[in-house]
Structure 1
Amino acid sequence: MIAVRRILAATTAMGAVAICFCSPVLAQSPAEPTQNETTVAQSADAPEANAADIVVTGSRVSRPGFTSPTPVTALSSTELAKSSPSTVSEALRTLPALTNTSGTQRNSGSAGGGQSFLNLRGLGATRTLTLVDGRRFVSTNITGSVDANLIPSALIERVDLVTGGASAAYGSDAVAGVVNFILNSRFEGVKASAQYGLTSHDDNHEFVATLTGGTAFAGGRGHLVVSGEYFENKGIRGDARDWARSGYQVITNPNGNGTVANPTQILSPNVRLVTSYGGLILNGNGGTAAANASFRGITFGPGGVPQTFDFGTLTTAGTQVGGSGVDNASIQQINRPLTRKSVYARATFDVAPEWSLFGEGSYGEVHSDYINGPNVHNSNAAQTAYITIRQDNAYLPESIRARMIASGVTSLTMTRWDLEDGKTHTDNLNKTTRFVGGFEGKIGDWKLDGYYQWGQNRNTNIVKTTNKIANFNQAVDAVRAPDGSIVCRSTLTSPGNGCVPFNPFGVGSPSAASLTYVNGESPAYIRTTQQAAALNLSGEPFSTWAGPVSLAIGAEYRRETARVRSDALSLLNGYKIGNQQPWSGDYSIREFYAETVVPLANDIPMLRLLEANAAVRRTHYSTSGSVTTWKGGLTYKPIEDLRLRITRSRDIRAPNLNELFSKGRQNVSTVRDPFRNNVIASNISSLTTGNPNLKPEIANTLTYGGVYSPSWAQGLQLSVDYYRIKIDGAIATVTDQVALDQCFAGSADFCALSSRDAAGNLTAFRSSPINYSRLLTSGIDIEASYRVPMASMFDWWKGQLNLRAVANRVNHFTTSAPGLTTLDVAGSIVDSQPHWRAQGQLDYTLDRFNLTLIGRYIGSGTYDKSRSAAQLGFRDVRAQAFMDGQISYNLPQLGRTGQIYLNVRNILNTDPRIAPLAGNLVIVTNPFLYDTTGRMFRFGVRASF
């Protein structure tokens, strides 16, 4: 996660805030419900039998005319396809509410493995609850998040976004809100789609295909629907764009004195790391200071030939501008390759006139193999330690050995990036299985439904071609045997130990046998299982003078288990990257809830409607005890054209299995070291473990606003909503940078989170999550939409025009915690929190032709609001806009909804803004805000019969 990452890791992820987004498809006439009316939106494939169904997202009460006081954004499948016909998650993340949804972009971490986790309001994927038809979907990740792309896209009728106040209705994890996918479970017929895409750079090649069939059986009492999907994307190389090769990074200014004229850090192009693929000597050891320093800057070309290293300009211990250093920012892919296969099936059978049984199953397989980078030896940390070359090293060029002997230098400290074995890469295979069985029926006027779900996720995450630390250290210490052959020094005392000497001097010098010996695969085998059951009863027990009172009650049970395995070498932290530590854990949850809707006034002057909605849920966690959540809301229509609403709620997020029980996995961290004049220290070992004493987070949410649909302007709708979410006891892990900064400021507790060697060099970080912080975010969501037949304006102009603009203003995004300065990063680009984000759409339909243009806007902001102009010279980032479009034409030969289309993302091929992520030397922009793909063409065909 990037948002506020320098303050609290795992507390927030990137994102803006929710919006009120009304699809034209959802409002066919002024008399029909509009964007927050939360009734069923029919797709072209939905059978007429479904038209009477009532689905209210954000509430367990379902009855005609009920409008939840909690803002609910609804998007039809048609609108999703126009935003991005590639994947559901890519379509959703065009909304300001979900801009920072993770996916296959660079810097999206290793745990996701190409999955897309939805992230509402920038509060993190773990605080966004993903549902399918109002039921939980089995988590596809150890953190409890759900890959939205495993939900069958061909059957999605609409997606509802509940932007806050949903825990009382749906349970834990709904702090930021709920994303509920409504499926067309009664589809009949056959439909198929195929799509091919590529960029104007001839990369990111992509193929998507779906096939769906549905039929009734047993005289109409039964129904079966099956849908399959295949997706493949080849990705984008790390150096495939000019902006990616620019090398812009925030670095330490060696001439800085902490003033505005000479700040401590600056932004510069062509930033490189002080290292070499062929090996670079940093200093000698054992001689005088002058003798030791005389070896600095010797690098090795092909064949191990000594050369002079160019240190460029603005050189520090870790970075330089220009020269011979390594450009780390173009190694990892801009977009990671991905293959996904999934299948979904559902059967329904009416056992009685008002009783039915259903069963559904799904299976998804996601495979991603992406680059981490070369094996590196450029720090004092054990995992990435510098190479020590002794005077008697058998591969050492004789000219260097002679100088060492003459000057009394006994060893050399060398940095190297191993290019010969390719780049370390992570092979991630994720398999998810889910089965659900349930029933629906009526007892008198009461509706009763229930279900049981079993699901399991199996993740195999293997870091390949990573150094075995002990093997490498033995192999690089090569000497001459008595017979003149080159062997490992360890072989002299332990013959037959299998060590193969490694030649570190020059690119291409290590033998294939030595590469096989020093490298291995660090595995992690993760299995998570979820069992869930629920029983819901709803009805209208009595009426008041204003109308029927609705009541819903229910009980839910859920059990989550996880088991993580690795190998013997990982237990010893023996690999350079990976080293998953085995662990297992489980917890169970029992919940009871009640919700009611009470009409207070109806159809009287200035009280066209006044309705109260209240809910309470009691939840017991086996790990942390019981907690109560609740919500209360009012919906008020003083006149027919205006609806006002307000909701106040208490929401929770329970710690997930990883936060509770994880034994950790070896990562590396890049930080500024304030104890050493803020020089960049890269590839420092970092380990985060779980904390079984965590308690649930408590959030207090307030939303209020209104929807204005003037009768004097048919098709026009305006909405404004204010929100405020405050989370107390937020589960957070102090980032390595914050630990260093707070230690430097004098906090001994933070000093315990880092380790140094005798020379004061950083060697390791360690931490675990705690209920540590408070988060507060607030803002305003704005929408304006207008639907108009063109003939109403011009007699000669036919067709339908739909215009819509949505915008979000982030007022505050504040973090505070004991020992930390309260920080508001609203308006900070590096934290993915620009004040303004917006999207505008023009949609024109004429007979079988449709044209859609979409503009996406990311507002200007301060690059890093946490740092002053004296600390960081790079201040302002200009606003950025992207334009997308789609042209489609319906063909009768392809069936009732068949069409061909051309979709173009980023039509103008606009480059992202230069905005490197904090403490990160692998990317020059923020991929969670800006488009990093470039112009992307997608050609497709859909058929339905």
Structure 2
Amino acid sequence: MRTTFRSRLLTTTLFVGAVMAAGSASAQQVDSTVTPGAPAPGVVTQEGADTAPTATGDIVVTGTLIKNPNLVQATPVKVVGADEIDLQQANVAEELLRELPGITPSIGSAVNNGNGGASFANLRNLGSNRNVVLLDGVRLVPAELNGRFDLNNVPLALIDRVDVLTGGASTTYGADAVSGVINFITRRNFAGLEANVSQQISEEGDGSVFRADVTIGANFDDGRGNAVFSIGYQESDPIYQGARDYGFLALSSGTGGGGGSGTAVPSRFSIPGQGTRQVNADGTAFRPGNAFTAFNFNPFNVYQTPFDRFNIYGAANYEVSDDVEVYTRGIFSKNTVSTIIAPSGSFGVAVDIPLNNPFLTDALRNTFCSANGISAAACAAAANPTLTPGDAGYQTVTSALFRRATEVGPRVSEYSTQFFDYRLGARGAITDTIDWDVFGSYGESENLQSIQGYTLNSRVADSFLANNTTSCFDGTAAGCVPINWFGPQGNATWTDAAVDFLNETSTVRTRTTLAQARATISGDFGVASPLSDNPISFAVGGEYRRYSASQASDTLAASGDLGGAGGPAPNITGGYDVYEAIGELIVPLIQNRPFFQDLTVEGGIRYSSYTIDAAGDPGFNTTTWKAAGSWTPFNGLKIRGNYARAVRAPNIAELFSPVTTGLTNLQDDPCATFDDNGNRIRPNPTGTLRAICLAQGASAANVDSIAQPISGQANSTGGGNLLLDPEVGKSWTAGVVFTPTFVPRLSISVDYFNIKVDGAITSPAPGDAISACFGATGTNSPTSAACTSIRRDPLTGGLNGDPNTTPGLFLSLSNLGRLETSGIDVTANYAHDIGFAKLSLAGSMTWTDKSTFQATAASFNRDCVGYYSANCGQPIPEWQWSVRGTATVEGVDISLLWRHIGSTRYEGAAGDFVARGFDEDSRFIFEGTLPASAGRLAGRQVNFNRIEAKDYFDLTTRFNVAENLTFTAGIQNLFDIEPPLVGGEAGSTTFNSGNTFPSTYDAIGRRYVMAAKIRF
């Protein structure tokens, strides 16, 4: 897996050649896309946004249904233009968005274990299900049952700009827009041919990303119509964690040494009264004590998921008369995302071991017999190789098996998605100032997950049921092969027939549909305020949406029989209808008066009626509204503010998912006396603590030998709830926009935001469930519901194990949650011509004051700003900014992007750690010199409790090599900044992977990108 020096040398040579080519072409006079007076590349304010027609001729102003190209709203909107997209050379929309301040990285290309084949955006850290992603102001069919749109389907080649609006936008766009909207605006009437091709590769020579797009458009019938068609292809190769020194070995967040999984090789078995014990290297006896060699799963995992995409986009509009225009738009995408994780196996599955199993040595058998109270004579008699079930003297012992089936190979889930969404509409004029617009659209998304390399728990159990080496007992599955689970890795019993018996391919098919229709009338009344020049504008309309979704699993996936799948994938079917009435009003009150160059107020309201596809469910009705205003006392200064009431209706997954047991993240189990490497960490539980552990399902035989959750993962049980109501969000913003006349081409905006969500549809964080029973705010009673709702593995007493016997933590959905976030956004833009060069600067900064989550009124109100943990997920820095500076010299653009991510610390290090659910033994993780067991990183000084601020720089050069040919060369992560090390249990598994947080920090290293664009 390691990259050779030769491949790195080749990559560097190619880049140097590109830079030399850039220098030789710099004498050519070309028109740069950055010109003085125009918004600089980067994030700009809405004041710098272009509201010209889209590819379908539509005018889109994000945040309102009133189509007015001169309108600048009171609601702040960040805008990312096509030029910034071009300079960043982002290949998918998620990569572009995750680097914007105010957007927390969500599921995307850096997520491996937890990626379901789609990419999402998380605005303001309120959850990726609380913002709406739009294309030209219209929803598209979601990718899954949580109602989220897959950003992999955004046709970036056609995107002119991206608008990010903060705060409740449900009045304009309906439910789910609690934290805001992300609106991708397609390019306006396109005529000509444009072809793009790009190649990206890391300095290590891996992670190649190839992308090509071709777009063609034309005007026809004397300009009455326009049609555009685009086709694209992308292919991304994986980057394995084992290919980086900092990711090669799974590190324990608690010890700093080699961590990994307790599902290891050789096997571990639960022994009554002794915890779990690992078989020695030759399989003849158990190792002394509880310590074991953990399995290093990191080399199998990836920092960049393999990805293939083929997409088509087409749009057209035609004026059938002077007053009527028809328009259409269609999108098709087929993409495949592969996730690759360490081999499957038995993750605590209960197995019955016949005492005459042919692979049991006398030492192993005697240990099992002694621990299970079987006399020496009975044990010896049961070893008779002729005994079969039902015979006198035949005996078995039950044990939890932890063994990695490395012989089967890695677990691979291939997610193949086919997506299409088609829109057809017409618009026209009623009067000179009033227009109408009617459209309908329908979309489908189908995701087929092919699950490969997973062993079956039932067949693992069957493979023990034998008294000889060639055949299993009657009653086992067809084709059963006896396997020596006690022996070393790859022993002779792991034949092709054995692997075929254990391993089956499974499938899960997820299908979603969205049918919608909207009719609006907008314009102005032809009347104005006595003190205003512009008339009062309005929009009224109605909207209908029909959502349906299903998840269909085969028997293996639905039953939870797949080893290491994290629980069953149940069959789910559901849907709902929404009928809505909408009204918006913008009233210019005073214009062109002393101290009142402009004073405008606006408002809106939307009434929604939901019908749920469930017998006896009456549905629900919601009302959202907004009120906003802006005041420009004189040219160059605008003061603005808005207040909005938004709602989020429960989605299909939250309503219809059955209760199942899966996995959550938990580093510390208060009942545990051993760490996840089998080393003692605290005394045996006594008193009330011991009584609680026993009440939760631990037994007298295992309560003194409970181990911490394996790899920081514990079982949890939860599901949907048809009694859920919509949650309510209340948001307000207040800010100023400064565009001084004495400094031309300078604009600065400062906006405060505050968003609160009451009745939030949430489930408790793992720390909440533990704290409710064991913590300072807990009941500390073995009979309390908070304690007895936690259910343990009867064989080990731990919170890992067979989902059928170990429910773990109970994390149910309810409307008892509360979320709140607040902070300040600052955006600045400046451009200047200094004669020999044109300079531009664009920057966006977010200061996050709070980001709180409270699961119930009795739970701790957890503020995650400045922290990371399994409860908070990934790091939420207080300060983030992104600044791009561009110089155009002799027609060549040289651009530098600076991204800053503020410092954070482990949540257990908070001053109020006890109230947050941490105890003295778990509040801190490793700090010091990494030990020899850390492998290649041994001797490095680290502090897993703190992540220092990180600064990343990307350098891009862009120039014309011919009249219609533009070439771009860039270096991403210019100074090859390594990601911070925190081990593998410092956050949620989805985002804490490869010893770091690869969605937040660059885990790939320095990368080179080359791109060419030809235009006619």
TM class by shorter-chain length? 0.7 to 0.9
**Residue 891 (structure 1) aligns with:** 961
Question: C-alpha distance in 2, partners of 1:537/1:164?
Answer: 25
Deviations 1:121-146 (A, max 9, x none): 11111111111111111112221111
Question: C-alpha distance in 1, partners of 2:770/2:969?
Answer: 51
CA contact (8 A) 1:635 1:644 kept: yes
Q: 1:606 to 1:778 in 2, by over 3 A?
A: same
Question: C-alpha distance in 2, partners of 1:486/1:891?
Answer: 70
- Given candidates 845, 865, 878, the residue that maps to 1:835 is 878
SS in structure 2 at match of 1:367: strand
Q: Provide runs of 4+ in structure 1 moved above 6 Å.
A: 23-26, 402-407
Question: C-alpha distance in 1, partners of 2:176/2:769?
Answer: 28
Give the CA deviation at 1:628. 0.8
Give the CA deviation at 1:924. 1.6
SS in structure 1 at match of 2:240: coil
Does residue 606 of structure 2 align to residue 562 of structure 1? Answer: no
- Given candidates 298, 305, 308, the residue that maps to 2:279 is 298
**Residue 260 (structure 1) aligns with:** none
Question: C-alpha distance in 2, partners of 1:687/1:619?
Answer: 33
Q: Which segment is superposed worse, 85-94 or 711-720?
A: 85-94
Does residue 304 of structure 2 align to residue 325 of structure 1? Answer: no
Q: 1:861 to 1:39 in 2, by over 3 A?
A: closer
Q: Which segment is superposed worse, 386-395 or 57-66?
A: 386-395
**Residue 392 (structure 1) aligns with:** 356
SS in structure 2 at match of 1:149: helix
**Residue 128 (structure 1) aligns with:** 131
Deviations 1:405-431 (A, max 9, x none): 899478576531110000222121111
Give the CA deviation at 1:305. 6.5
Q: 1:193 to 1:700 in 2, by over 3 A?
A: same
CA contact (8 A) 2:112 2:341 kept: no
Give the CA deviation at 1:191. 0.8
Give the CA deviation at 1:615. 0.7
**Residue 258 (structure 1) aligns with:** none
Question: C-alpha distance in 1, partners of 2:39/2:770?
Answer: 59
Does residue 820 of structure 2 align to residue 776 of structure 1? Answer: yes
Question: C-alpha distance in 2, partners of 1:901/1:350?
Answer: 38
Give the CA deviation at 1:782. 1.4
Superposed counterparts of 1:62-461, under 5 Å: 62-107=67-112, 109-111=114-116, 113=117, 115-245=118-248, 247-251=250-254, 268-280=256-268, 283=271, 296-301=277-282, 304=283, 324-379=293-348, 385=349, 389-397=353-361, 400=364, 408=376, 414-444=401-431, 445-461=433-449
**Residue 23 (structure 2) aligns with:** none
SS in structure 2 at match of 1:660: helix
Question: C-alpha distance in 1, partners of 2:604/2:161?
Answer: 25
CA contact (8 A) 1:523 1:580 kept: no
Question: C-alpha distance in 1, partners of 2:479/2:860?
Answer: 54
Deviations 1:382-421 (A, max 9, x none): xxx2655443221234665577789947857653111000
Letter in 1 for 2:434: W
Q: Which segment is superposed worse, 626-635 or 828-837?
A: 828-837
CA contact (8 A) 1:39 1:56 kept: no
Give the CA deviation at 1:234. 0.9
CA contact (8 A) 1:646 1:703 kept: yes
Question: C-alpha distance in 1, partners of 2:367/2:561?
Answer: 35
Identity %: 27
**Residue 479 (structure 2) aligns with:** 498
Give the CA deviation at 1:857. 0.8
Give the CA deviation at 1:271. 2.3
Question: C-alpha distance in 2, partners of 1:26/1:725?
Answer: 37
Deviations 1:212-231 (A, max 9, x none): 11122344333221111111
Deviations 1:501-541 (A, max 9, x none): 12222111222211211222332111111100001111111
Q: 1:686 to 1:863 in 2, by over 3 A?
A: closer
Q: Which segment is superposed worse, 803-812 or 630-639?
A: 803-812
Question: C-alpha distance in 1, partners of 2:995/2:520?
Answer: 50
CA contact (8 A) 1:42 1:157 kept: no
Q: 1:26 to 1:166 in 2, by over 3 A?
A: farther
SS in structure 2 at match of 1:327: coil
Deviations 1:846-905 (A, max 9, x none): 243111111111111222147369442244321111111111111334x2xx31111221
Question: C-alpha distance in 2, partners of 1:919/1:34?
Answer: 33
CA contact (8 A) 1:810 1:827 kept: no
Deviations 1:333-362 (A, max 9, x none): 111111111111112221101311112211
SS in structure 1 at match of 2:997: coil
CA RMSD of aligned residues (A): 2.9
Does residue 47 of structure 2 align to residue 37 of structure 1? Answer: yes
CA contact (8 A) 2:823 2:848 kept: yes
CA contact (8 A) 1:172 1:652 kept: yes
Larger strand fraction of residues? 1
CA contact (8 A) 2:763 2:817 kept: no
SS in structure 2 at match of 1:699: strand
Question: C-alpha distance in 2, partners of 1:355/1:594?
Answer: 23
Question: C-alpha distance in 1, partners of 2:477/2:460?
Answer: 17
Q: Which segment is superposed worse, 199-208 or 659-668?
A: 659-668
Question: C-alpha distance in 2, partners of 1:640/1:556?
Answer: 39
**Residue 592 (structure 1) aligns with:** 581
CA contact (8 A) 2:426 2:438 kept: yes
**Residue 466 (structure 1) aligns with:** 454
Question: C-alpha distance in 2, partners of 1:55/1:187?
Answer: 16
Question: C-alpha distance in 2, partners of 1:413/1:118?
Answer: 40
Give the CA deviation at 1:99. 4.0
Does residue 739 of structure 2 align to residue 709 of structure 1? Answer: yes
Does residue 909 of structure 2 align to residue 909 of structure 1? Answer: no
Q: Which segment is superposed worse, 512-521 or 573-582?
A: 573-582
**Residue 20 (structure 1) aligns with:** none
CA contact (8 A) 1:753 1:767 kept: no
CA contact (8 A) 2:894 2:955 kept: yes
Q: 1:570 to 1:298 in 2, by over 3 A?
A: closer
Q: Which segment is superposed worse, 195-204 or 821-830?
A: 821-830
SS in structure 2 at match of 1:198: strand
Superposed counterparts of 1:49-68, under 5 Å: 54-68=59-73
SS in structure 1 at match of 2:302: coil
Letter in 2 for 1:438: G
Letter in 2 for 1:609: D
Give the CA deviation at 1:757. 4.2
Give the CA deviation at 1:806. 2.0
Does residue 946 of structure 2 align to residue 876 of structure 1? Answer: yes
**Residue 522 (structure 1) aligns with:** 506
Q: 1:922 to 1:378 in 2, by over 3 A?
A: farther
SS in structure 1 at match of 2:46: coil
Q: 1:665 to 1:852 in 2, by over 3 A?
A: farther
Letter in 2 for 1:452: G
Question: C-alpha distance in 1, partners of 2:71/2:993?
Answer: 50
CA contact (8 A) 1:580 1:666 kept: no
**Residue 845 (structure 1) aligns with:** 888
**Residue 536 (structure 1) aligns with:** 520
Q: 1:563 to 1:883 in 2, by over 3 A?
A: same
Q: 1:224 to 1:784 in 2, by over 3 A?
A: closer
Question: C-alpha distance in 2, partners of 1:365/1:904?
Answer: 30
Question: C-alpha distance in 2, partners of 1:438/1:402?
Answer: 78
Q: 1:151 to 1:664 in 2, by over 3 A?
A: farther
Does residue 672 of structure 2 align to residue 676 of structure 1? Answer: yes
Letter in 2 for 1:356: E
- Given candidates 609, 632, 638, the residue that maps to 2:598 is 609
Deviations 1:585-626 (A, max 9, x none): 110001111111111111111111110011111111113311
Question: C-alpha distance in 2, partners of 1:26/1:40?
Answer: 16
Question: C-alpha distance in 2, partners of 1:216/1:276?
Answer: 64
CA contact (8 A) 1:27 1:35 kept: no
Q: TM-score, normalised by structure 1?
A: 0.86
**Residue 822 (structure 1) aligns with:** 861
Q: Which segment is superposed worse, 519-528 or 773-782?
A: 519-528
Give the CA deviation at 1:152. 1.5
Give the CA deviation at 1:767. 4.2
Give the CA deviation at 1:688. 3.2
Question: C-alpha distance in 2, partners of 1:434/1:427?
Answer: 23
Q: How many residues align?
A: 859
Letter in 2 for 1:777: T
